[in-house]
Each structure stands twice: as structure tokens, then as C-alpha cells.
Amino acid sequence: MDENQKREEFTHHWLEVEPSVSAYVFASISGFHDAEDVVQRIAQELARRFDEYDSSRPFVGWALWIAKSRVIDFYRAQDRTRVVFSDELLAQLADTIAKQADGRSNRREVLEACLEELPPKSRRLLDLRYVEELSAAEMAQETGTTSGSVRVLLSRVRTVLAGCIERRIAMENA
């Protein structure tokens, strides 16, 4: 595998596990900027050590193993007299996040499939609200309707989306 392929493969793996690694780090380190720095250091270390990764095992487990070590290093470097979390608690947290990572990616796929089924106008409303973060009044201006109408339509779209997600998850679990 050439260097570009390795970089591409690493990037693919990192994008999948970054939410889990970030959740672990942000749950373990209280300062936002400190946690952000640790996540960056973890990403750099994972990229540097990617050749050591055993592809027969889940990447999230390996990434969280390194994350746990970096969180412990962070607290050691802070020379804290009191330990905020025990090593055992950090390990349990990493295990829990690793187990939940699979479920999250499944739910994300279901959500994406359901979003694809929505009519374009409904998707546009969701984009205006959740991507562009517009208020109901701003959305009403954008769509040429009233803010009350926008709220009703958004409620209906959310209901349809929730029903689709529930059906798909039920079918997967059947």
C-alpha cells in the first residue's frame, strides 16, 4: 500500500471514530481547550502509528486505547494532586464508548436513508433549521410563508422522519 492509500485509509477510519474519541476525551477532561488539544494529539499519534494498527480488530478500540493513555498522560502532566478519574473508570468509559460506536454509525445510516426519502421541500426546511440554524421567522422569510406555518411544517417533517427511523430500526432488529 502506498503512502497516499495509507493516508486515505487512516482518514476514513479517523472520521468514523472521531466522535467516539472526542466523546471519551471530553467526558474525561473538563476544560474544553484542554480536551480539544488532547483530541488533536490523539489524531496525530494515531496517524503517526497507523502502521501498528491491526486491521483485523476494530479501529475504534485501538483509537480509544491510545486516547485513554493520552488522557492519563494529560493528568500526569498537570501534576494534579487529586486524581479526577481512576485508570479503571477511564477504561470502563472507553469500553462503553467503543460498544456504542457501532450503534451510532447504524443510526446515522438509518437517518441518512430516511432523509433521502423526504420530499425536497421537507429536506430544505430541515436544512434551513439545522444546517443554516435559521429561526422560524427567518425560515418564513426564506420560504415566503408565515412562521406559524413553518413551525407546523417542521413538526410534521420531524414526525415523518421519526416514524421512518423507528420503522427501519424495527426492521433491522426483526
DSSP 108-141: HHHHHHHHHHS-HHHHHHHIIIIIS---HHHHHH
DSSP H stretches of helix in the chain:
3-28, 32-48, 59-77, 87-117, 120-126, 136-143, 147-173
Tell me: do 85 and 154 sit in the same domain. Answer: no
Q: What is the pLDDT of residue 61?
A: 87
Domain assignment of residue 155, given as a range = 118-174
Number of folded domains that form the chain: 2
d(CA 86, CA 118): 47
Q: Which residue in 19, 24, 28, 23 sits closest to 75, CA to CA?
A: 28
Tell me: do 164 and 125 sit in the same domain. Answer: yes
**26 or 102, which is more confident:** 26
**Residue partners of 142: CB distance under 8 A and separation at least 6:** 128, 134
Residue with cell 426483526: 174
Tell me: do 127 and 65 sit in the same domain. Answer: no
Tell me: do 122 and 97 sit in the same domain. Answer: no
* 107 within domain boundaries: no
Cell digits for 108?
446515522
Q: Mean pLDDT, to the nearest integer, of 24-33?
A: 81
Q: What is the pLDDT of residue 170?
A: 80
Q: Which of the listed residues 101, 128, 151 is the one where a domain comes to its end?
A: 101
- The CATH number of the domain holding residue 166 is 1.10.10.10
pTM: 0.50
* 30 within domain boundaries: yes
Quick one: pLDDT band at residue 98, thresholds 50, 70, 90?
low
Q: What is the pLDDT of residue 82?
A: 45
